[in-house]
Structure 1
Amino acid sequence: MKTPVILISGFLGAGKTTLLLRLLQAAREAGMKPAVLMNEAGAISIDGPVAQSGGAIEVLNVLGGCICCTLKGDLHAALQEIARDLKPELLFIETTGIADPVEVLDTCTALDLVERLDARGLISVLDVEHGLDALRINDLARRQLELAQIVVLNKMDLADPAWFPQLQARVREVAPAARQVNTVRCDVDGAATLKELLAMPAPRTGDAAVDGLLQDAHGHHHHDHGFLALSYRVREAESREALLAALRALPSNVIRAKGFVRVKGDERLYICQWAGGHAQAHVFPLEGFNPAPTIVVIGRELNRADIELALKNLSPVGV
């Protein structure tokens, strides 16, 4: 029996992992045993343990780049391992925020995988606070929506009513066949969304739209689309507030930051995030998980000195 595959895409910081957790919960409640293939741009996995805490029976990580180009061979090998050895009842693939989903889809439908994997729905997440700007200036953000069958317009609590209708119209232009869902923290109806995605056959090579996007992608790839990911080992923060202040001090060309950090005087592990000008840090719930404190920073034209200055109170050491 083939393993159904659901692909989750979206730009950096849009909320992909939050959506994944919703769908994992729905799969578990339906009695399914899902696995996750997680692609992260940094050298160290942050989102993989998050997926594990959400109940995935197995999480495979493809790290250090983008599975649609520089790590495409690693993606193929990971899918072969999953199909041959794990044989889960359902597979979620969450791409890094700098991946083009059309090439991931192309790999999923390779001749040596189609007998074991069944590519189903493609769902993409868009941060509504920054969505119009992203679609205007970033070709990659647009490409992440073009084949989506469901587009989750996330962070509606940050949407401006004055321009939100423009964003909805722009998404309809980019992904005219997609159903749009408005959410806060990707609070979709997990069971209904999972059922809908499993009932959808994914776009496939041979379709004119897919083949056109593939040809365009092959002609424009270069070094993970100009993005760079830097990973740092860090010492404990003086306080949660000091950790948040360090994240807010990151330079403006940092688009995304995330990591695991300890706080002085607190035995608990914290997961921290920065995206779209918003910093968060909360206790990580996975018991027995004890990683080296690490922060991964993603952006364009990153300057190590600027980042290390922002994180100076955490004594960052590049990995």
Structure 2
Amino acid sequence: MKKVDVYILSGFLGAGKTTLLQNILTQEHQKNRKIAVIMNELGETSIDSDAVSKDTPLKELLNGCVCCTIQGQLEVQLNQMLHEYELDAIYIETTGVAHPIEVLDACLSPLFAEKLDVKGIITLVDAKRWQDQEKLSIQLRKLLIEQVTHADIVLLNKTDSLSENEKAKLVAEIQGLNPNGKLYMTEHAKIPLSFIQPKQLGEKKHHEQSHVSKNLHLRSYVHTFTNPIDLDQFEKFLREMPDTIYRIKGYITFSHSTESFLFQYSYGMPLYMKEQIKRKQTLVFIGENLDHETLKQQLAAVEIVSN
């Protein structure tokens, strides 16, 4: 089954995310691709929804942020889109105060993780805001840096007012924070679609696709078990896995019980919650430079294979 591409548009307040979204949608429609949009607003009223044409499926998440208070709503909206439309891609425009890892986490519900392919996080940076970040509170400065650090692609926007020396200084600062991401300088958030969709390599050879995917900063891995899991072996795996795995969530069944459990892991803490109904045993991992083959082997080893 063909997966639907997902792109997360991140960036601080006023960086130009909606303008970027408009530029992207224009190019996508020229390619006759079927696109949908999810827009998240902190307030009760949508501000930017008029920027999306009426012929583009749009769902709005209001009065909260997908990275914390309304994660569940994003999962519902994504699921509805998958059932209502045949799509090539979904673009999620986050609020200006959203943390990219938390948004990525919200996109990867184990219920439909095998139907979506999160291609990357695109973070837009207002050049002047970056220069003046000392005027922000410590918490907001940290968020601004986190948005840049965890991006696959950084667009340094509104660079037309900068001198060449100022541009060079900002580029060096951002590349120092995120040496693995790609950085482009833009004006009015204008960027060719091919620059921000580096994984669209369908006509190229498989090994080239693999090479590009390994260069992504944050990645996900979806694993489905066919047998119950040995709890002791699973917890041993958790203790020994690399600290570059930030999140795990999904559904599992243990050999000592017939019940399904919702499993969540973050910041070193595992959490098991009994489910009322039987679920497919699927776990979603989020982390940096995940070794899919190693994870696959390690997780296969915790299964109890019946004779």
Task: State the partner residue of 1:304.
Answer: none
**SS at the partner of 2:191?**
coil
2:153 to 147, 150, 154: 150
Contact 1:68 1:100 in 2 (8 A): yes
Task: State the partner residue of 2:79.
Answer: 80
Task: State the partner residue of 1:242.
Answer: none
Tell me the amino acid that sits aligned with residue 191 of structure 2.
V
Q: CA deviation at 1:161?
A: 4.0
1:179 paired to 2:179? no
Contact 2:159 2:167 in 1 (8 A): no
Larger radius of gyration: 2
State the alpha-carbon separation in 1 of the partners of residues 45 and 199 from structure 2. 30
Q: Deviations over 1:118-166 (max 9, x none)?
A: 1112211000011133388411111111221111000012224443322
Task: State the partner residue of 2:118.
Answer: 119
Tell me the amino acid that sits aligned with residue 40 of structure 1.
E
Q: Which runs of 5+ in 1 are unaligned?
A: 219-319
Q: Which runs of 5+ in 2 are unaligned?
A: 202-211, 222-241, 248-264, 270-307
1:204 paired to 2:207? no
Indicate the RMSD between aligned Cα atoms, in angstroms: 2.7
State the alpha-carbon separation in 1 of the partners of residues 111 and 85 from structure 2. 16
Contact 2:9 2:94 in 1 (8 A): yes
**Percent of matched pairs sharing the same residue:** 32
Tell me the amino acid that sits aligned with residue 67 of structure 1.
V
State the alpha-carbon separation in 1 of the partners of residues 133 and 75 from structure 2. 29
Task: State the partner residue of 1:166.
Answer: 169
Q: Deviations over 1:151-196 (max 9, x none)?
A: 1000012224443322212211221111111111012123x22542
1:50 to 1:195, Cα distance in 2 relative to 1, 3 A: same
User: Greater RCO between the two (CA within 8 Å, min separation 6)?
Assistant: 1
State the alpha-carbon separation in 2 of the partners of residues 111 and 86 from structure 1. 20
Contact 1:106 1:205 in 2 (8 A): no
Contact 1:6 1:121 in 2 (8 A): yes
For 1:1-319, what aligned pairs fall within 5 Å after superposition? 1-52=2-53, 57-134=56-133, 137=138, 138-190=141-193, 192-196=194-198, 198-199=200-201, 201=213, 203-205=218-220, 208-209=243-244, 211=246, 215=266
Contact 1:27 1:194 in 2 (8 A): no
1:140 to 1:82, Cα distance in 2 relative to 1, 3 A: same
Task: Report the TM-score when normalising by structure 2.
Answer: 0.63
Contact 1:106 1:204 in 2 (8 A): no
Contact 1:124 1:145 in 2 (8 A): yes
Contact 1:122 1:197 in 2 (8 A): no
Contact 1:23 1:194 in 2 (8 A): no
Q: Deviations over 1:215-248 (max 9, x none)?
A: 56x9xxxxxxxxxxxxxxxxxxxxxxxxxxxxxx
Tell me the amino acid that sits aligned with residue 91 of structure 1.
I
1:17 to 1:150, Cα distance in 2 relative to 1, 3 A: same
Task: Report the TM-score when normalising by structure 1.
Answer: 0.61
Contact 2:8 2:122 in 1 (8 A): yes
Tell me the amino acid that sits aligned with residue 72 of structure 2.
G
**SS at the partner of 2:246?**
helix
**SS at the partner of 2:67?**
coil
1:9 to 1:95, Cα distance in 2 relative to 1, 3 A: same
State the alpha-carbon separation in 2 of the partners of residues 115 and 23 from structure 1. 25
Q: Which one is further off, 32-41 or 101-110?
A: 101-110
